[in-house]
Structure 1
């Protein structure tokens, strides 16, 4: 028996590949296994090769595996594109309808199964994906009934007849493999997992749930890959809590609408990807100078322009920190797991109101769309902090015609905040430089005073975990560094390096701006090399580190920017080359 394997299903987009992976992975998650899934898909509705690679394990996994145990192929292209990943004696389950051919018979074992024909015998060839799941269950020593509950949930709205047909299709697939092909291998039998109730979700779902738990009651957004699921989730859920989602005409409107709603006192946010964030930059500057709380989610994807809209990349970092014109205080945070995506989203709303500034929650496509097993979220850790927001009737009477000092020059830099309509709270709000009451002012002393006041806020910023640290050695050969979704790969690479006698520590940056320079420098000081692993071409995180931390001469980069996530094996090999 084995404790871990990798399974992939592939075919043409629109052919049911996603639903195949969904039934397979949800069922195994409920059996107690940990899963990590990553979809390769095209930026079109139908057609083009797509696949879903799912890692199954009896312990936590947060990265795609280097190789592949089982490939389910609904067309020849799937074999041609993915067969090289298969382990020696790996298995291909291919639909005999297209007369499958294995280019190199020595690489794997191919079993041609009439998926389409077996499904057609039950009434429709569309159920070929369930036949494939049945065949897979036989290889893994799982009972076909293990999938029935999930099938009923997914297809139950279509009626009991369709549900039963899908269940029969799973049974047919298992029987065909065992009886017609007399399949007898036991080397891929999965160790039984301990059943435990866990969530199975993508990062975007965690962000949306975090926004809901964090008190957001309005979202303004424009659909864009890979951020759309956040809006789609909240379209269904926010109305149940008295909230609403508005699909705007563009990202400019989404951002300005979010600013307006936050000014009115409603926790509001927007979510987009790189092209949308480019359009929001002027509005982000408006939030900065008016000191209006604003939360924005940026799910990074391949750029520039339309670029690779459905592929992995981490190339928005510099833009998120330095993209706005002029200078404003800003917070840029980067969760590295689905759990962190939930808790960090809650914290983003708290920080936005406490420091009255834009907060950007940076994700990437792999984290946002990669589906994985998640331990139950602990809502007792959710806190709502609204900062210096004055309560109703909490403003003293103003003398004469004096306006409320909304931008008062305080020691902390954070000024008292009021909501529209509050008694004695009248003040100006403008995008030009202003005095303490908001009245426009171009006076040089006032300009310096307000700039200093705004930036003074960041001196008091306390972030729960600015750097996730796994420090095993007082002095290490390598310090492996990343942000967002590279955490799982780095954790696996560390284990492999340790087995080779190479000492390694790990630092994952969760607060990208203001950069935690002192904390990071302390970790880096005891490392021979600081290896920064990121999905972009110019080493953006490495350059941020060089600008802020005292380890410039130690920094080396491992970069990947072909649209694919890092694999543990390739990072491991590059790390070995550095020793």
Structure 2
């Protein structure tokens, strides 16, 4: 019996690879296994190789595996591209239609299953994904009825006839491969899972759920990979809570609409990726100048320009912090787990209203689209804070005076009212203004207003702004990172420690304003610091050097080929850098 294995399905985009993965992993989740998924797909609707990889385990996991146990292939290209990951003794379940062949030197067992032929016998080749699912499932020796129930959930809305045919496709795929293999493969028998129900979602769904829990009732957005799933999730969910989603004509409109709705008192957000973020920059400046709350999600992907829209990267950091013209206070957060995606959205909305600033939640493609198990969320942690928002009728004003919407205060945050509040009338403009909002270009006023706005964030620190797993007082290495890489670092650390290299892992979750005083002790105590990030220029490392220093200690571990880090890659890089 084994405690974990990896399964991958590959084919041409549009062949049902995604639905196969969804049904297969849903069934595993029902059994209580921990799962971590990775999607490799082309930036087009149909055609081009795509594959989905699932890691299955009896214990929590937050990284894709280095190797592969079972590959289900719809075409020869899927074998040629992915067979190199197969461990010795691995298995390929392939469609007999294309006379599959293993590449030279690959030590694996090949099962040629008439996947398409069985599907066509049942009425349509579209069901070949279910045949492949059944064949893969059978080799693991797991109860076929559990997979059958997942199929019923997937196709139930299409009626009992469709459900019955798909369940039959699963059964026939299982029967054929078991006859070829002589029964389930003993070396792939998984230990029993704990049977406990776990959430199973992508980061984008957790972000959407977190927004709902935070009181968001409007999302204005324009579709873009890899952010679109947030919009799709909220289209289904927000109406249940009296909210809605508006698809705008572009990202400029999305951001300005969100500003307008927040000004009116409705918690509103938008979401995009690098190209859309670029278009939002002027609006982000408007949010900062008018001191109107604004929450934006940036799901980072490969750039620049269209770049690699369906691939992993963490290269927007400079744009997130420095992209707007002029100087405004803003906050940039970077969750690193599914759970943090949920809780950080609540924090983002609270911070945006408490400090009256734009808040950007930065994820990366792997965190946004990688589906994984998640422990039950603690809804008792949800607290809604609206800062200095004044409710009801305000005290009368002196004649010819307006409400001091931009009143100079010690903490830089001024009282805020909603449109229509009696005695709350004030002027709002994107040009520099006085305390009542009237345009003012006076040098003294400008100096006071700039200092007032910038005072807001002097002491802002979110919960776990720096999150460390640091058991060593003076480690050989401190690995510092952001986003989805945390779980992969943890696996590499186990291997490094086994070779006598002590490691502390530190995730920076508040990227701006930078939490220097929280991070510095971990840098100071380590013999060497490795900053690991998915970009080519070391943007996080440069941010650390700029704010803290330690130039002589810091080493770069960079990956910018569009794929996430593997545990073996981090292990290799750190061993070389620790010498």
* TM-score, normalised by the number of residues in structure 1: 0.99
1:491 and 2:490 aligned:
yes
SS of 2:188's equivalent?
coil
SS of 2:555's equivalent?
strand
Q: State the Cα deviation string for residues 340-397 of structure 1 (Å, max 9, x = none).
A: 000000110000000000000001100000000111111111110000001111x211
| Match of residue 110 from structure 1 | 110
Shift of residue 98 of structure 1?
0.3
SS of 2:116's equivalent?
helix
| Match of residue 463 from structure 2 | 464
| Match of residue 298 from structure 1 | 298
Q: Spell out the pairing of 1:205-284 with structure 2 (5 A cutoff).
A: 205-284=205-284
Runs of at least 5 residues in structure 2 that lack an aligned partner in the other structure: none
Q: State the Cα deviation string for residues 181-236 of structure 1 (Å, max 9, x = none).
A: 43563111111111111111000000111111100111110000000011111111
CA contact (8 A) 1:222 1:251 kept: yes
- State how many pairs are aligned: 578
CA RMSD of aligned residues (A): 1.0
Shift of residue 173 of structure 1?
1.5
Q: State the Cα deviation string for residues 39-98 of structure 1 (Å, max 9, x = none).
A: 101111110000000000001111110000000000000001000000011100111100
* TM-score, normalised by the number of residues in structure 2: 0.99
| Match of residue 563 from structure 2 | 564
State which drifts further: 9-18 or 139-148.
139-148
Q: State the Cα deviation string for residues 135-167 of structure 1 (Å, max 9, x = none).
A: 212221112112111111110111112111111
1:22 and 2:18 aligned:
no
Q: Spell out the pairing of 1:174-573 with structure 2 (5 A cutoff).
A: 174-183=174-183, 185-393=185-393, 395-573=394-572
Runs of at least 5 residues in structure 1 that lack an aligned partner in the other structure: none
Moved over 3 A (4+): none
Partners of 2:107 and 2:288 lie apart in 1 by 57
| Match of residue 142 from structure 2 | 142
Q: State the Cα deviation string for residues 474-521 of structure 1 (Å, max 9, x = none).
A: 000000111011111111111111111110001100000001001100
CA contact (8 A) 1:521 1:551 kept: no
SS of 2:7's equivalent?
strand
Partners of 1:327 and 1:269 lie apart in 2 by 22
Shift of residue 547 of structure 1?
0.6
Q: State the Cα deviation string for residues 107-130 of structure 1 (Å, max 9, x = none).
A: 222111111112222222221211
Partners of 2:28 and 2:501 lie apart in 1 by 35
Alpha-carbon spacing, 1:476–1:181, altered in 2? closer, same or farther (3 Å):
closer
Q: State the Cα deviation string for residues 511-554 of structure 1 (Å, max 9, x = none).
A: 00001001100111110111011100000000001011242221
CA contact (8 A) 1:119 1:131 kept: yes
Q: State the Cα deviation string for residues 296-335 of structure 1 (Å, max 9, x = none).
A: 0000000000111001000000100000000000000000
CA contact (8 A) 1:204 1:227 kept: yes
Partners of 1:50 and 1:349 lie apart in 2 by 36
Partners of 1:10 and 1:180 lie apart in 2 by 21
Q: Spell out the pairing of 1:78-97 with structure 2 (5 A cutoff).
A: 78-97=78-97
SS of 1:552's equivalent?
coil
Shift of residue 134 of structure 1?
1.5
Partners of 2:411 and 2:105 lie apart in 1 by 69
Partners of 1:434 and 1:515 lie apart in 2 by 28
CA contact (8 A) 2:207 2:342 kept: yes
SS of 1:419's equivalent?
coil
CA contact (8 A) 1:49 1:77 kept: yes
SS of 1:578's equivalent?
helix
State which drifts further: 419-428 or 459-468.
459-468
Partners of 2:357 and 2:73 lie apart in 1 by 50
| Match of residue 120 from structure 2 | 120
